[in-house]
Amino acid sequence: MMLFPMAVDIYHGSNEWSAFAVAAVATAVTGGALARGTRGALKAGLTIRQAFTLTPLSWFSVAAASAVPFYLAEYDDVSGHVSNAVFEAVSGITTTGATVLSGLDSAPPGLLLWRALLQWMGGVGIIATAIAILPALGIGGMQLFRTESSDRSEKAMPRVRQIALTLGSVYLGLTVLAALVYWFAGMHAFEAIAHALTSVATGGYSTSDASFGNWEKNGIQWFATAFMLSGSIPFVLYVRFIAGESKALWDRQVKTLLGVVVVLTLVVGVWLIISGQYGFEAAFRHAAFNIVSVITTTGYATADYSQWGNAAVGLFFALLFIGGCTGSTSGGIKIFRFEVVAIMLKTHFMRLLYPNGVFPRTYGSRMLDDDVVGSVVAFLTVIFLSYAVVTVILMGFGLDFLTSASGAVTALSNVGPGLGDIIGPAGNFSTLPDGAKWVLSLSMLLGRLELFTVLILFVPRFWRG
């Protein structure tokens, strides 16, 4: 993949091509040696312990390799700066979108394309992880989707390879469609391709410091809102829809996500009109775009929504936690976990009212087993503890509470921009201390891999027998 930005830099006469050439050779040699040295070693398949070990190591290795072009580049913000190079690479591959780069409008095209490609690869990587790995490991209630996803997919398309090909085709198709729409709507071809790669991946890297605030005409922001939503829908549903299930896309998670987006857009849009900040169309356009951007953990911005009032700041801080649907490119806690909590609360209240009643916990047509409920509760406990711990650590570096708290949430939820003057939608992470950047880089990887996949490696019993 490094050859693409190398070719772009050569075409545009940029000297940055050599950074990608060196990094490409280094990763090709290393990857080739690893592949040759382990050929045939796993013919029997992966054990649970091997899967737990391989998943985080793979993501950490890819992130490290992805940082090499940034480090070797001649761009001031990352050149020779390990912390910044790693931070930018991790943010890209985890589709977080937090950045330490400034002056993007005049940045080398290869560097901009590399950032976009990282998010695109990270998006398809997390889809594969969420479908093939996390359900099998029972992370955070994901086992709920293990039988459902495989059963329904196998009825539609018997072979796993065919499912993977269809998922990849859908992902690529949505990206091509987004690029064409952006291009016809007024973006230059390069800008259209870069934003298409990061829209469907719900990544948020842009080619402009003003993000999508740089493009307001011809409905581009409305189109971007739609493509961000398309990336936050479970991609298995696209497979089922293509296989002939006409109502597949009208899934419970999708309905909940769209319902939340519509209600919040109406509320914020009306507030922006009443407060006199925008006219009718602009108010709902900015409200819809930025709400969708945060709730899908994309991280684009059309305006500095932290200037919309204290209530808006509180709302967007809450949205940092949510995330899109399971099996999508979005990060965050995920819609289904909030739905499981709602089911648990409803059941609890019903038992308080009718102590002798029987109230089965069901999610759609499936029973919510105790292990699923327990996994969800455990995940929520650990994620909120992680938010608190990271916040305190960041405050230890001298950052204020809003910057620390929103930075912790935006990193662990893989959203991108935080809140406040420093890391808000109008700022970036370049001025943070190097130690804070390393903490946030680790947090982004932890959040992307649903925490337990990484944390279990630190349990001594894991390495025994």
In a 13 Å sphere around the CA of 307, the CA atoms on its Cβ side amount to: 12
> Using one digit for the tens of pLDDT, what is the confidence trace for 184-200?
999 999 999 999 999 99
Q: Does residue 384 carry a pLDDT above 90?
A: yes
Beta bridge partners of 362: 367
Phi, psi values for residue 366, rounded to 5°? -110, 145
Q: What is the pLDDT of residue 199?
A: 96
Query: Distance of CA 108 to CAs 5, 207, 428, Å?
Result: 10, 10, 19
CA distance 359 to 351: 8
> Using one digit for the tens of pLDDT, what is the confidence trace for 405-427?
999 999 999 998 989 889 988 88
Closest CA relative to residue 305, chosen from 65, 55, 295, 132: 295
> Using one digit for the tens of pLDDT, what is the confidence trace for 349-362?
998 999 888 888 88
Q: How many CB atoms lie within 10 A of CB 276?
A: 8
Averaged pLDDT, 447-464: 87
Averaged pLDDT, 384-391: 96
CA distance 292 to 299: 9
Q: Does residue 64 carry a pLDDT above 90?
A: yes
Q: Does residue 145 carry a pLDDT above 70?
A: no
Q: Which two tokens stand for residue 260?
A: 């939340």
Is 158 exposed, middle or buried, given 0-12, 13-18 or 19+ CB atoms closer than 10 A? exposed
CA distance 210 to 304: 10
> Using one digit for the tens of pLDDT, what is the confidence trace for 217-249?
889 999 999 999 999 998 888 888 888 888 888
Residues 93 and 63 sit within 8 Å (Cβ to Cβ): yes
Averaged pLDDT, 308-337: 91
Averaged pLDDT, 394-404: 95
Find the range with the poorest average confidence among 277-291, 358-372, 421-435. 358-372
CA distance 452 to 382: 9
CA distance 403 to 196: 29
Residues 412 and 443 sit within 8 Å (Cβ to Cβ): yes
Averaged pLDDT, 360-372: 80
Residues 452 and 332 sit within 8 Å (Cβ to Cβ): no
Q: Which two tokens stand for residue 200?
A: 């469907």
pTM of the model: 0.90
Q: Does residue 151 carry a pLDDT above 60?
A: no
The 3-state DSSP class for residue 340 equals helix
Q: What is the pLDDT of residue 44?
A: 64
Residues 19 and 85 sit within 8 Å (Cβ to Cβ): no
Averaged pLDDT, 333-359: 90
Residues 28 and 68 sit within 8 Å (Cβ to Cβ): no
Q: How many CB atoms lie within 10 A of CB 271?
A: 17
Averaged pLDDT, 30-57: 82
Is 377 exposed, middle or buried, given 0-12, 13-18 or 19+ CB atoms closer than 10 A? middle
Is 365 exposed, middle or buried, given 0-12, 13-18 or 19+ CB atoms closer than 10 A? exposed
Q: pLDDT band for position 148 (50/70/90)?
A: very low
Residues 378 and 451 sit within 8 Å (Cβ to Cβ): no
CA distance 421 to 417: 11
The total number of residues shown for the chain amounts to 465
Closest CA relative to residue 232, chosen from 257, 211, 264: 257
Q: Does residue 396 carry a pLDDT above 60?
A: yes
Q: Does residue 75 carry a pLDDT above 90?
A: no
CB contact set of 463 (below 8 Å; sequence gap of 6+): none
Q: Which two tokens stand for residue 272?
A: 């922006």
CB contact set of 317 (below 8 Å; sequence gap of 6+): 405, 406, 409, 419
Q: How many CB atoms lie within 10 A of CB 216?
A: 14
Averaged pLDDT, 82-89: 95
Q: pLDDT band for position 257 (50/70/90)?
A: very high
Q: Does residue 149 carry a pLDDT above 50?
A: no
> Which residue blocks in 243-303 are alpha helix, DSSP H?
252-274, 280-295
CA distance 302 to 319: 17
